[in-house]
Amino acid sequence: MQIPIEQLILLCLGFFIVATLYSSVGFGGGSSYLALLTLFLGSFLAIRSIALICNLVVVSGSTYLYFKNGHAKLKDFLPFIISSIPLAFLGASFRLKEEIFFVILGISLILSAIFLAMQTFNLATSIPETKKYPNYLSYFLGAGIGFLSGLVGIGGGIFLAPILNHLRWDKAIKIAALASFFILVNSVSGLLGLVTSDSLSLPWLETLCLGIAVLMGGQLGIRISLKRLSANGIKRVTALLVLIVGVRVLLVNGLGVY
């Protein structure tokens, strides 16, 4: 299962770029890690495990800085977190058949690409007025996205942030902080679910190299602004790449269409 060194270097470069781009907007990059890993690894257990570890590495630093700079308040995030943690654990505990996993993964990647693209087109030119919603909606969103995140190894922020931006739940910076914290707790919960179900698979060399790559990229991304580099344009290209790989995973790995 070991990846040839030249391919591993290429994969590390891709992970570094993904971590840099995604961390700048509060994401961990889980959907793109999954997309890249499916091109190099055949073990879906290793794909899930490595993606969750890399998510955790990236958003740990992002979450710390969001809280440090006053953009995150735990009491506002609790409804999402309380419902998502047990559902992420439950989702990760499912021992899926390989073909079913790849079908769910392919659909998740396609939806991730759509949601990421939608986020870039729904940004208003002026700051929109935020709206108030009942608490049960936060619990519902947290539970549903938490379960999916544990099931396929995506932290869930890439689904949550566009939905909350569309609902005008709060300011964009606070939504980014919530997405980062949401990914953090669900990645931890998902990893615990993998451990208890004996599904954790971490090839040491690949995990170490990719972990270092996303640590460096994540620390860089959270400290710089991508606005001057056309962040929306980068997101759209990323969404297109994730969409292409998602369709490939669904058709080739999941449905067996060659």
Residue 107: half-sphere exposure toward Cβ, Cα within 13 Å:
11
* Model confidence pTM above 0.95: no
Query: Highest mean pLDDT: which of 40-44, 91-95, 114-118, 208-212?
Result: 208-212
Distance of alpha carbon 223 from alpha carbon 240, whole angstroms: 25
Q: Report the distance separating Cα 55 and Cα 58, nearest Å.
A: 5
- Structural domains in the chain (count): 1
* Alpha helix positions (H), 41-168: 44-68, 74-93, 98-121, 135-152, 157-167
Confidence tier at 50 by pLDDT (50, 70, 90):
very high
Range of the domain at 110: 5-255
Q: Does the structure show a pLDDT above 60 at 111?
A: yes
Amino acid 9: pLDDT: 94
Q: Contact, 125 vs 247, CB < 8 A? A: no
Dist. CA 78–CA 135, nearest whole Å: 10
Answer with the residue of higher pLDDT: 62 or 216.
216
Mean pLDDT of the chain: 83
pLDDT of residue 230: 57
Q: Calculate mean pLDDT across residues 182-192.
A: 89
Lookup result for tokens 């509060």: 26
Angle among Cα 201, 38, 88 to the nearest 5 degrees reads 55
The pLDDT value recorded for residue 125 is: 47
**Amino acid 234: pLDDT:** 62
Residue 197 banded pLDDT, cuts 50, 70, 90: confident
